[in-house]
Amino acid sequence: MKLWSSLAASAALVLAASSVAAPALAAPNDSAAQGASTSKKTTTDSGGAGAFKVPGAIGKQWKELRGTDADLGQPRAEQECGLRADACMQQFENGTLVWTPENGRVLTIRGALHQRWTDEKAQDGDFGYPLADEECTDSGCGQVFEGGQIHYTHGKETFTVRAPIIEAYGRSGDAAGPLGRPIAEASCDLADGGCFQTFEKGSIYYTPKTQSWFVKGPIGEKWGDGNWEHGELGFPAGDTFCRLKDEGCFQTYQNGSIYWTKGHGAIKVGGPIGDHWGKENWEHGWLGFPTGDEGASDKGNWQTFQGGNLYKPKDKDVMAVRGDILARWGETGYENGDLGWPLTGEFCELRDGGCANQFENGSIYWTEKTGAQVVRGAIRDVWASKGWEKSYLGYPTAAEDCSIGGEKDACFQTFQYGSVYWSRETGAFPVSGQVMKGWAAEGYETGKLGFPVSDLHFEMRDGNKVFFQEFEHGFVEYTQGNDPSVVMK
């Protein structure tokens, strides 16, 4: 069937034409040129008997249809001309033939479509004249008129499609498109002055504010699961569109969107998280398609995507966590684990190409060389006080290890150029360089020196700068260029 949009201009011209009776038209009634047909006796609409002429273009079309599946039978009235828009029309036993100057040809209305057109007051009703012949498929037939379309589906009633639903139906491809034929009349008792109509494979929704849009497939089902227009998304604000990358589809609504992919199905995206995703170039950006619906807790909302996760803590902006940092955070239990919710999005351009995220109860720092490592508690505080990754310790290279200290509650963590040791009794202190060398020779924390209890210091002795660090039971000291020595208390 021709698209409704392609016939809109023709309909406008026909509707605008003069309704005053016109002179006899040469084209449809020129019997000298085309010859006139006279029917055998038949019964007229008034119940009497008589013979009716079928002249001109209408007569020619009637002859061509006789003996075919579209045979209209005998005429039931005289041909009428000078109708609205200078049209000519004649009724037959099984339908009506119509000629208008705008179409320039005779069109046939018959069968169930003709019956519905007649019930709608024929050319004087809302539908007016036909703009095309009926077109049929395996499922049924339909026909386009000035005021809309009439469809018949095999085994069902006839249904009409008219403004304001018709605009979206035309964009979808009419009956030949993905919606198929109507299976109910439009209903216009929705909120906000809205209307909807159901079709074989989808629906069309309209409001004066949003206009008319078609909804179909898994996206339509997802919207329905969310209570249709009564849900969070509201009415559709665009057609279902399916030419995204990876064969994806999406549809926009008043308050968000639904995206569909083969691997993840239909997913709803909206609110601040949807806005942030849009700023990252939607599915074309590093986040890719959504992989799960938005989740919520008393602390905020989150949503997973192909390339990472977005988090929206209450009273804070949306934050991104991705890659190896996301994987390491996941090992701790995500937002429900020890680290808690993110306090920052991922920030990069750190030393050596590093990236990091800060969380409620710690941090995760990453470089290609060191991987993603969690830093937290007193060890993190000490590292931060020294200047984070810019300090002489560099980046963390392993997770915190709390298996040391024997009966003591103690932990340590290694960094690129040293370590930070902590125990409940002594606190947290970094150990590096020559001091680490001397302390290691004595057995680290399990040796005679025990845990560190101070930072590295220096003092001048005999004009030389002497570096030293205090431990539970002694000191490690050295001068520049010399091996360290141990001094017990």
What's the pLDDT tens digit per position in 433-485? Answer: 999 999 999 999 999 999 999 999 999 999 999 999 999 999 999 999 999 99
Structure tokens at 468: 């030293």
- Which is nearest to 118 in space by CA: 135, 98, 137, 140? 98
Q: Are strands 265-269 and 295-297 parallel, antiparallel or unpaired?
A: unpaired
Q: What percent of the chain has pLDDT over 70?
A: 90
Question: Which residues does 192 contact at the CB level (< 8 Å), separation at least 6?
Answer: 207, 208, 209, 235
Domain ranges for the chain, please list them.
1-142
Rounded to a whole number of angstroms, the distance between the first and last alpha carbons of the chain is: 99
Task: Work out the average pLDDT over 113-123.
Answer: 97
Output the CA torsion sign for 181, 184, 190, 193: positive
pLDDT (0 to 100) of residue 50: 59
Residue 397: count of CB within 10 angstroms of its CB: 16
How many other C-beta atoms can be found within 10 angstroms of the C-beta atom of residue 16? 8
Residues 279/294, Cβ–Cβ less than 8 Å: no
| Residue in the block written with tokens 């013979």 | 51
On the question of pLDDT at 39 being above 80, the answer is no
Q: Residue 393: CB partners within 8 Å, gap ≥ 6? A: 383, 386, 415, 416, 417, 418, 420, 430, 432
Q: What is the pLDDT of residues 69-81, one digit of tens each?
A: 999 999 999 999 9
> What are the angstrom distances between the C-alpha of 283 and each of 85, 244, 259, 307?
52, 9, 9, 10
pTM of the shown model:
0.82
pLDDT for residue 47 is more than 50: no
> Residue 444 has what pLDDT?
96
**pLDDT for 134:** 96
Question: What pLDDT, in 10s, does the model give residues 229-271?
Answer: 999 999 999 999 998 999 999 999 999 999 999 999 999 999 9
Half-sphere exposure of 343 (CA within 13 A, CB side): 9
- pLDDT score, position 38: 44
Alpha-carbon gap, residue 70 to 54, rounded angstroms? 17
> How far apart are the C-alpha atoms of 44 and 92, rounded to whole Å?
9
pLDDT band at 155 (very low <50, low <70, confident <90, very high): confident
Residue 315 has pLDDT above 70, yes or no: yes
pLDDT in tens, 385-398: 999 999 999 999 99
pLDDT tens profile 417-432:
999 999 999 999 999 9
Residue 362 vs residue 21, higher pLDDT: 362
Residue 63 has pLDDT above 70, yes or no: yes
**Tens digit of each residue's pLDDT (9 = 90 or more) over 272-309:** 999 999 999 999 999 999 999 999 999 999 999 999 99
User: What type of residue is 33?
Assistant: A
Residue-averaged pLDDT of the chain: 90
Per-residue confidence (pLDDT) for residue 154, from 0 to 100: 79
Identify the CA nearest to 111 among candidates 76, 138, 144, 142: 142
pLDDT of residue 32: 31
Among the listed residues 229, 187, 237, the one whose alpha carbon sits nearest the alpha carbon of residue 209: 237
pLDDT at 2 over 60: no
